[in-house]
């Protein structure tokens, strides 16, 4: 059986911990090192306490790239590009970056890793930029309609995310007494994930004239993203539903449903659930994911599976926290 040897950089944060949790239970992956300068020498389970009893792995300050097949970057945004300027990773080692540093096409060779649109190039790439959490959820809601050219005008999007989307480092809008029983808007119409969303819109529907108008919200829950979007559409609902069903019929983790979904259907899984409804000439598109899994490390492991020719679902058949 083929095994993939893995190194994790930035392993002490939320994404690092979730990635380690998935890889420990992956049938064809072996964690060679989990790098964290600040926690070097400490057991991983002392930081990621949910892993107590599951691993004896310790954090290390070392980075033995010659002993791995792939490296995951679990850094904060902006640190991946800086890291590659300061360190040399052998050309044969694959890189999966979970930050936003390489998601926009430019003077680099990173492939944008949304499996529902880029599966073929993902399988052949050496360096991969994992999509953002909001970007994943929003794109999955709109992809079939955009590809079929059945919506026009501006696309209005509202999305609410859990507190883990802000990362592990505490802040004024993440500590319990502020976040609990609260909801707020932030980065209205300017969220950084709009760059990659608009990139995909132009790729699927060149010359599309409408704007993606996005209002992100902070929710008073830990994990998950729930997106509602609407745009003008003249097609009957039955035709739209067929377009969506056909688009996702072969998707490993994205499921089109005909009943309005709940976010708990996807929390703790790598699933995305997508739903549509018509109101006169407006098409409502709903999508929900777990921001740490399908919106981050679950999708990253899915991409690793594709890059190494493994079963796309390997290590990712997880039960939803439905109750």
Residue among 125, 133, 137, 205 flagged as catalytic: 133
Q: Is the pLDDT of residue 108 over 90?
A: yes
pLDDT bin (cut points 50, 70, 90) of residue 36 is very high
Q: Give the pLDDT confidence score for residue 180 in this predicted structure.
A: 84
pLDDT bin (cut points 50, 70, 90) of residue 78 is confident
Q: Give the pLDDT confidence score for residue 181 in this predicted structure.
A: 86
In this structure, are residues 232 and 151 in contact, taking their beta carbons and an 8 Å threshold? Answer: yes
Q: Which residue has the tokens 């490296």?
A: 71
Q: Give mean pLDDT, residues 83-96.
A: 95
Q: Give mean pLDDT, residues 95-122.
A: 96
Burial class (CB in 10 A: 0-12, 13-18, 19+), 274: buried
Distances (CA, A) of 176 to 15, 161, 162, 187, 218: 20, 15, 12, 21, 13
Greatest CA separation for the chain: 61
pLDDT bin (cut points 50, 70, 90) of residue 89 is very high
pLDDT bin (cut points 50, 70, 90) of residue 77 is confident
Q: In the chain, what is the straight-line distance between the N-terminal and C-terminal CA atoms, in Å?
A: 36
pLDDT tens across 299-321, in order? 999 999 999 999 999 999 999 97
Q: Give mean pLDDT, residues 66-78.
A: 94
| CATH, domain 133-291, list 3.90.1150.10, 3.30.420.40, 3.30.70.270, 3.30.360.10 | 3.30.360.10
pLDDT bin (cut points 50, 70, 90) of residue 264 is very high
pLDDT bin (cut points 50, 70, 90) of residue 178 is confident
Q: Which residue from 288, 226, 220, 302 is spatially nearest to 29, judged by alpha carbons?
A: 302
Using CA atoms, how far apart are residues 214 and 209, in angstroms rounded to an integer? 16
Mean pLDDT of the chain: 94
Q: What angle do CA 4, 59, 44 make, to 5 degrees?
A: 90
pLDDT above 70: percentage of residues in the chain: 96
Q: Which residue from 222, 225, 217, 303 is spatially nearest to 266, judged by alpha carbons?
A: 225
Q: Give mean pLDDT, residues 219-235.
A: 96
Q: Is the pLDDT of residue 167 over 70?
A: no
DSSP state of 43: B
In this structure, are residues 266 and 290 in contact, taking their beta carbons and an 8 Å threshold? Answer: yes
Q: Is the pLDDT of residue 46 over 80?
A: yes
In this structure, are residues 113 and 129 in contact, taking their beta carbons and an 8 Å threshold? Answer: yes
Q: Is the pLDDT of residue 177 over 80?
A: no
Beta bridge partners of 232: 152, 282
**What residue spans of the chain are helical by DSSP H?**
14-24, 44-47, 79-86, 115-124, 133-148, 176-179, 194-204, 237-247, 298-307
Q: Give the pLDDT confidence score for residue 76 in this predicted structure.
A: 87
Q: Is the pLDDT of residue 166 over 60?
A: no
In this structure, are residues 152 and 205 in contact, taking their beta carbons and an 8 Å threshold? Answer: no
Q: Give the pLDDT confidence score for residue 190 in this predicted structure.
A: 95
Can you count the helices (H) and strands (E) in the chain?
A: 9, 13
Q: Is the pLDDT of residue 280 over 60?
A: yes
What stretch of H or E contains 152?
A: strand 152-161
> What values do phi and psi take at 294, rounded to 5?
-60, -25
Q: Is the pLDDT of residue 21 over 90?
A: yes
Using CA atoms, how far apart are residues 146 and 206, in angstroms rounded to an integer? 10
Domain extents in the chain:
4-131+294-307, 133-291
Q: Give the pLDDT confidence score for residue 174 in this predicted structure.
A: 67
- Topology annotation, domain 4-131+294-307: Rossmann fold (3.40.50)
233 an active-site residue?
A: no
């Amino acid at each position: 059986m083929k095994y993939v040897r893995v190194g994790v950089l930035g392993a002490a944060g939320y994404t690092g911990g979730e990635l380690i949790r998935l890889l420990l239970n992956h049938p064809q992956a072996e964690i060679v090192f989990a790098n964290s300068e600040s926690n070097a020498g400490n057991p991983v389970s002392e930081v990621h306490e949910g892993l107590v009893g599951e691993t004896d792995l310790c954090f290390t300050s070392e980075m033995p790239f010659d002993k791995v097949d792939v490296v995951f970057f679990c850094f904060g945004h902006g640190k991946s590009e800086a890291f590659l300027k300061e360190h040399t990773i052998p050309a044969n080692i694959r890189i999966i970056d979970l930050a936003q540093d390489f998601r926009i096409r430019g003077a680099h060779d990173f492939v944008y890793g949304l499996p529902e649109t880029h599966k073929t190039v993902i399988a052949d790439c050496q360096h991969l930029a994992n999509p953002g959490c909001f970007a994943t959820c929003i794109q999955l809601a709109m992809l079939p309609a955009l590809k079929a050219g059945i919506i026009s005008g501006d696309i209005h999007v509202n999305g609410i995310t859990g507190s883990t989307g802000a990362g592990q480092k505490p802040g004024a809008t993440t500590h319990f007494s502020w976040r609990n029983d609260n909801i707020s808007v932030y980065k209205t119409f300017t969220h950084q994930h709009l760059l990659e969303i608009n990139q995909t819109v132009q790729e699927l529907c060149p010359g599309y004239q409408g704007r993606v108008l996005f209002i992100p919200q902070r929710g008073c829950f830990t994990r998950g993203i729930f997106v509602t979007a609407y745009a003008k559409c003249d097609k009957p609902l039955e035709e739209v539903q067929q377009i969506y069903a056909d688009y996702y019929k072969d998707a490993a983790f994205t499921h089109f449903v005909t009943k309005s979904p709940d976010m708990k259907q996807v929390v703790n899984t790598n699933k995305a659930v997508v739903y549509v409804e018509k109101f006169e000439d407006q098409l409502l598109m709903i999508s929900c994911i777990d921001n740490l899994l399908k919106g981050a490390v679950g999708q990253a492991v899915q991409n690793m599976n594709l890059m190494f020719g493994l079963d796309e679902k390997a290590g990712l058949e997880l039960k939803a926290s439905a109750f």
